[in-house]
Amino acid sequence: MSQEIKLAKSSLFLSAFLWGFGFVAVEGALKSGWHPMALLSVRGLIGGCLLLLFSYKRQFWKNKTMIIEGVKAGTFLTLGFVGQTYGQALSGPANASFITAMYVIFVPLIGALWYKHKISLLVVLMSITAFLGVTLITVQGSLSVNPGDVWLLAGAIFFAIHIIKLSQLASFNDSLSLTTIQLFTMSLISSTFMVITRTNFSSSGLYYVLYIGLISSGVAFFLQTFGQKSLESSVASIILTFEAIFGVLGSAFVFELMIPTQTWIGGILLLGSVFVLEAIPLMNKKRL
């Protein structure tokens, strides 16, 4: 394994770790009184400003096509985070960590519909397995489903659409600038919502918000951008799936949460389906 590949994998693992503990920070901010849209507004602004320090020399604002496409992608990213943040407010960080990982399953399903491709048997089987996992996570005690889990699933769907949209923007060869545009877009959309609904910011839990903005949205995105340059998307997806594991473990440690056995089993089924879906095609490719 070359030094470049090792560094790329390390960057993605660190990115997954930082994003995983981002669920912990979001939980802390929500408990401190932050409204989800206020949190997304500041998250996008801080993360965007941090990445702008590295991307401003590229003068991406002169490329109108990139701005337009970046705003479109940023809109899907915003919708994904809206579903995730509102969902976590209602269901908690453990469910948010696991269910958000469903985006990896949704990508091939939505992509097949988008491009009118046939869905492989492997994708169908792993989708069923993931569905069973999510069912175990969301249905606790009774046959009712927590509304927060519906928000989380919606967020995962929009994250999947966002990834598909990003694949169409590869020709720009400037993911850093595109990420900067997307974060500012998220901040603008969220701020507009706050003005319309007269939502206020909170003065509590600012250290959580700083972590979310600087680390989760700034540093983690930068590390992901750096790591994915040298790795296949399938390898990157597998590594980034650890975000869910770090999120659950971090939440259990920081907030002293007792994660039900049923949730762990559901999480294992869900994450297992993700690993199989990404790893088997990669193994078959190496054999050729």
143 pLDDT higher than 70: no
Instruction: Give the pLDDT mean for 132-155.
Output: 78
Q: What is the model's pLDDT at position 233?
A: 62
Q: What is the model's pLDDT at position 253?
A: 82
pTM for the whole structure: 0.84
**Residue pLDDT, tens place only, 262-283:** 878 888 887 787 777 766 665 5
Kindly report the three-state secondary structure assignment for every residue of the chain: CCHHHHHHHHHHHHHHHHHHHHHHHHHHHHHCCCCHHHHHHHHHHHHHHHHHHHHHHHCHHHCHHHHHHHHHHHHHHHHHHHHHHHHHHHHCHHHHHHHHCCHHHHHHHHHHHHHCCCCCHHHHHHHHHHHHHHHHHHCCCCCCCCHHHHHHHHHHHHHHHHHHHHHCCHHHCCHHHHHHHHHHHHHHHHHHHHHHHCCCCCCCCHHHHHHHHHHHHHHHHHHHHHHHCCCCHHHHHHHHCHHHHHHHHHHHHHCCCCCCHHHHHHHHHHHHHHHHHHHHHHHHHHHC
**Residue pLDDT, tens place only, 209-252:** 999 999 988 888 788 877 776 766 656 766 777 788 888 888 88
**Where are the domains positioned within the chain?**
3-287
113 pLDDT higher than 60: yes
What's the mean pLDDT when you consider all of the chain? 84
**Residue pLDDT, tens place only, 163-196:** 888 777 877 878 889 889 999 999 999 999 999 9
